[in-house]
Amino acid sequence: MALPSDRSICPLRREEYILSPHFVSYSAFWVFALRRFATGRAKDSLLVSELSSRCPPPSLTVADSAAMEPAARVVTVESINPKVLQCEYAVRGEIVIHAQILYCNIGNPQSLGQHPITFFREVLALCDHPSLLDKTGIHALFSADAIARAQQILDVIPGKATGAYSHSQGIKGLRDAIAAGISYRDGFPANPDDIFLTDGASPAVHMMMQLLIRSEKDGILCPIPQYPLYSASIALHGGSLVPYYLDESTGWGLEIAELKKQLDVARSKGVTVRALVVINPGNPTGQVLAEENQKQIVDFCKNEGLVLLADEVYQENIYVDDKKFNSFKKIARSMGYGDEDLPLVSFQSVSKGYYGECGKRGGYMEVTGFSAEVREQIYKLASVNLCSNISGQILASLVMNPPKIGDESYESFNVEKQGILSSLARRAKALQDAFNSLEGVTCNKTEGAMYLFPRLHLPNKAIQAAKAVNAAPDAFYARRLLDATGIVVVPGSGFGQAS
Amino acid sequence: MSPKPLDYESLNENVKKVAYAVRGELYLRASELQKEGKKIIFTNVGNPHALGQKPLTFPRQVVALCQAPFLLDDPNVGLLFPADVIARAKHYLSLTSGGLGAYSDSRGLPGIRKEIAEFIERRDGYPSDPELIYLTDGASKGVMQILNTIIRNEKDGILVPVPQYPLYSAAISLYGGSLVPYYLDEEANWGLDINHTRQSVAEARLKGITVRAMVIINPGNPTGQCLSEANLREVLKFCYQENLVLLADEVYQQNIYQDERPFISARKILADIGLPISKEVQLVSFHTVSKGYWGECGQRGGYFEMTNLPAKSVDEIYKVASVSLSPNVPGQIFLGLMVNPPKPGDISYLKFVAESKAILESLRKRAHIMTDGFNSCRNVVCNFTEGAMYSFPQIRLPPKAIETAQRAGKAPDVFYCLKLLEATGISTVPGSGFGQKEGVFHLRTTILPSEEDMPSIMSSFKKFNDEFMEQYEDYRGYSRM
């Protein structure tokens, strides 16, 4: 019986998939991450010997066994979609697998003791089990306005059936509420038909990448450092990440000159740049863009023919008084740009803010400036998955329409909300100061989001020691930190950084 | 002026190739008519709660309590929730790492995956490893993830039954692979003939396609047939011989309406076959809370179980799962409850069993009512719905109807279904959305409308159909419609 021929075990080592041009700066980290990513079971080293020892089962004929060559199995790492291999997501990568301790690697507030907003949970519980609404004694356990809101929500759900697939863009009545919330926030109208409710903001990002990326010649401009969903999604969809560097020395500022420079470099390499990703407030950097900066970005996209992908999931996490959140839609409209002038996709989520409902997978994208034909395609993509989870949809409508002054729950709601936000602001300042007081560490001010991204000025010896074990220097440091203190962080190379 | 990135012409071609008829032309037309005030009966998608099926009480109570854990501290909670519900809510909350609002492990909460593994072991009699069970926001996401892992380029083919649930064709288009059809045999009750499958593979290979996977949907969608043990054995051996990974869509495993062929999982048969096949054939099995007697479509709860995949491949699949962070936690709890329902002696047991039985018995009845109803119509032949949630009658369209359809620029079954919709408000999915043999037409409807509504729906259908057939069979008249 023949051993598996060489065709069945791909001759390329995994590193060769990874060291493609757009990963050049981070190659050390990726190689390191990949080698260590696998868990201890290492069955592949046995693959050859298992196959060579296979013998034909007695129940089959000689003809059958001749036909049954021990060809390599289909789903081996050598024979799966190479784009899957290229995709990396450091937030839950190598460091995380080995750690069991203090998870500071991910924006997951409720896993670290943050409480959910009571009003939201009351409404969700009532929507999950609407028969509660018919019971006497309900008023002892639920606030009157939560009951009223639940009833209002159930009234816009056909048949009050929260277990039914909804419209593929999400329940119409909830989209109406979200559009109203957006209008209230921005002072410019929003159309419920522009809204696509998704299982968290991430699937919406994937959908746009799917739509925009035709081949590796299609590039997406992404901030460096960036939240690695973008690099992962671009890799998964076979496109090219075109980096633009935020300036650490100016509080992670976004310079238009830098955008233009990177755009031109990409184009000179034959890359068709399709979109610009802006994360505002930034992740991992936390900076909140100034209005003037946002206007420049809008003009840049308009002039260069780029889709603006505005990741605004941290819109309610701002910790400084001198900055405020302005949605890109608001900025564009205030500049006089109408719907047809600028293709713009805004992403929002229930996972962040003061609500921190990560596990619910609620979010949406608001899609403006596209033709009807394109919107049909977006709808079609959404319809293949039928719809996003209803509970998440309800939560998105609550987040965009929280209790207002005068509502019964407003006071207690506001206490909870302000408590969480002021605590986050205090912790941001405390950690920032603490990092800045450490030897060899500097840290920019965290204006928003949920992260600190301190800079490690690593001594040469440390860098050498890291190289000696084939580790990226920051991953080496993070690993030592973990081993010594149990604190889990994500090495900066996972987000990208200047070399 | 150069095209803008999101101009229709410059979209990803694969996206444009995707078709998903379940929410396609007929559904969109039905929605338009509904907006205009027409009463529509949506039978286009397996969405039980939308047609009046009530959610099971126990899971809703448990999840409501998990949503609002502060209720557990209230002395009055026992007045609204039975003790076993309270206990179960506490149990699931303890499995989370911070309640429903925290991202879980990207593969799903370990405690729930363990419950699923235990369920699989009870069901099949063979142990199951929770580490190889991944939870997803609905089974569809799992299917898409696995297909994306397998498909490298357009030369990679996936064997798909025809007719099939169009998630498969859509995903294959999206990921740039090739769909390799194998036809189910309508005359043999939609049976799977392995020789046809073998032939399909041979033909694909002649075209230079590397056939990588075989999809079986058991019970079938839209066809409803339940595979026999012999059939499953043939399929598994075939996958072994042809080096295919088997993708077993088993989401309708609770929906069985005949007693000759109960549900048997592909995994059980694989284990039964024994070595070496049982250790060689790669298998991914899918399940969900959307179907069965649960019908909790809106929760988006599903899982896939991997068998015989190498650790490195599992790691890659884990990696991609981690990019989405985690499946929604309430959906995960529904899965846990589904595989671990109330037991005899539990306070909620009797009510749970009564509700479940009522739903299943009613589905069985409706499967018969619909099949018989279709078979009583002129030029309509319908196989019995052995399982799942659909009826897939064959509509023998007269040549004149086919011509009229073609002149109107419509596929014949689309034409028929649109007329049916306009005349009766019944919104179905034309058979072309699922694939069918050339020149043979069907439509898919669900068996989900309530028992009370069934007789009027079937008589409404019969009236439309028989008139349609009369009109297009006699060679005199012009279309009145």
What tens digit of pLDDT does each residue of A304-322 get?
Answer: 999 999 999 999 999 999 9
Residue B59, preceding peptide bond in cis (omega within 30° of 0) = no
- Which CATH number fits the domain that encloses residue A491? 3.90.1150
The pLDDT value recorded for residue A131 is 93
- Give the pLDDT band of residue A469 (cuts 50, 70, 90): very high
Q: Which of A248, A278, A255, A283 is nearest to A498 (CA)?
A: A248
Q: Tokens in use for A363?
A: 């979010």
A373/B contact by beta carbon, under 8 A: yes
A166 CB neighbours in chain B (<8 A) are 298
Q: Tell whether the model's pLDDT for residue A59 goes beyond 50.
A: no
SS3 for A147?
helix
Q: Tell whether the model's pLDDT for residue A61 goes beyond 50.
A: no
The pLDDT value recorded for residue A8 is 28
The pLDDT value recorded for residue B408 is 95
The pLDDT value recorded for residue A22 is 27
Q: Tell whether the model's pLDDT for residue A151 goes beyond 60.
A: yes
Cβ-defined contacts of A10-17 (< 8 Å, 24+): A10/A78, A10/A79, A12/A78, A14/A77, A14/A85, A17/A82, A17/A85, A17/A86
Q: Tell whether the model's pLDDT for residue A72 goes beyond 80.
A: no
Percent of chain B at pLDDT > 70 equals: 98
Q: How far is CA B343 from CA B59, B90, B208, B253, B287, in A?
A: 13, 17, 54, 20, 21
Q: Closest to B6 (Cβ–Cβ): which among A47, A111, A307?
A: A307
- Give the pLDDT band of residue B94 (cuts 50, 70, 90): very high
Is A446 within a domain? yes
Q: Tell whether the model's pLDDT for residue A34 goes beyond 90.
A: no
Is A2 within a domain? no
A351 CB neighbours in chain B (<8 A) are 103
What tens digit of pLDDT does each residue of A240-280 get?
Answer: 999 999 998 888 889 999 999 999 999 999 999 999 999 99
The pLDDT value recorded for residue A94 is 65
Q: How many CB pairs under 8 A join A and B?
A: 324
Q: Tell whether the model's pLDDT for residue A36 goes beyond 90.
A: no
Q: Are B297 and B290 in contact (CB under 8 A)?
A: yes
What tens digit of pLDDT does each residue of B208-250 get?
Answer: 999 999 999 999 999 999 999 999 999 999 999 999 999 999 9
Number of domains in chain A: 1
Q: Closest residue of B to A303, CA-based?
A: B4
In angstroms, the first-to-last Cα distance of chain B is 46
Q: Tell whether the model's pLDDT for residue A19 goes beyond 80.
A: no
Percent of chain B at pLDDT > 90 equals: 89
Q: Closest to A116 (Cβ–Cβ): which among B10, B74, B101?
A: B101
Q: Which amino acid is at B437?
A: K
Q: Are B430 and B413 in contact (CB under 8 A)?
A: yes
Is A362 within a domain? no
B282 CB neighbours in chain A (<8 A) are 73-75
State the Cα–Cα distance between residues B131 and A327, nearest whole angstrom.
42
Averaged confidence pLDDT in chain B: 94
Over residues A329-338, the mean pLDDT reads: 97
State the Cα–Cα distance between residues B25 and A255, nearest whole angstrom.
46
Q: Are B135 and B335 in contact (CB under 8 A)?
A: yes
A371 and B7 in contact by Cβ < 8 A? yes
A57 CB neighbours in chain B (<8 A) are 274-277
What tens digit of pLDDT does each residue of B432-470 get?
Answer: 999 999 999 999 999 999 999 999 999 999 999 999 999
Q: Which of A380, A206, A388, A372 is nearest to B19 (CA)?
A: A380
Residues 6+ apart with CB under 8 A from B470: B378
More confident residue, A491 or B341: B341
* Residue-range definition of the domain harbouring residue A490: 18-60+76-107+417-495
State the Cα–Cα distance between residues B213 and B192, nearest whole angstrom.
16
* Distance between A249 CA and the closest CA of chain B, angstroms: 30
Q: Closest to A141 (Cβ–Cβ): which among B74, B296, B311?
A: B74
Is A164 within a domain? no
Percent of chain A at pLDDT > 90 equals: 65
Is A379 within a domain? no
Q: Tell whether the model's pLDDT for residue B481 goes beyond 70.
A: no
The pLDDT value recorded for residue A394 is 98
* Distance between A461 CA and the closest CA of chain B, angstroms: 32
A253/B contact by beta carbon, under 8 A: no
The pLDDT value recorded for residue A44 is 26
Is A426 within a domain? yes
Over residues B46-73, the mean pLDDT reads: 96
SS3 for B462?
helix
Q: Tell whether the model's pLDDT for residue A48 goes beyond 60.
A: no
What tens digit of pLDDT does each residue of B157-196 get?
Answer: 999 999 999 999 999 999 999 999 999 999 999 999 999 9
A74 and B213 in contact by Cβ < 8 A? yes
Q: Which amino acid is at B88?
A: R
What tens digit of pLDDT does each residue of A167-193 get?
Answer: 999 999 999 999 999 999 999 999 999
B282 and A73 in contact by Cβ < 8 A? yes
State the Cα–Cα distance between residues A111 and A91, nearest whole angstrom.
15
B212 and A121 in contact by Cβ < 8 A? no
The pLDDT value recorded for residue A105 is 81
Residue keyed to tokens 């979109």 = A275
A374 CB neighbours in chain B (<8 A) are 6-8, 11
Q: Tell whether the model's pLDDT for residue B1 goes beyond 90.
A: no
Is A56 within a domain? yes
State the Cα–Cα distance between residues B77 and A276, nearest whole angstrom.
51
* Distance between A237 CA and the closest CA of chain B, angstroms: 9
Is A322 within a domain? no
What tens digit of pLDDT does each residue of B112-168 get?
Answer: 999 999 999 999 999 999 999 999 999 999 999 999 999 999 999 999 999 999 999
Extended strands (E) in A369-432: none
In a mutational test of the B interface, the residue from A74, A302, A345 whose CB has the highest number of chain B CBs within 10 Å is: A74
Residue B429 — φ and ψ, nearest 5°?
-120, 125
A108 CB neighbours in chain B (<8 A) are 98, 102-103
A141/B contact by beta carbon, under 8 A: yes
More confident residue, B23 or B101: B101
Q: Are B137 and B312 in contact (CB under 8 A)?
A: no
Return the minimum-mean-pLDDT range out of A23-32, A220-229, B303-312.
Answer: A23-32
3-state DSSP helix/strand/coil % of chain A, to nearest 5? 50, 10, 40
A372-384 vs A201-212: helix axis angle to the nearest 10?
130
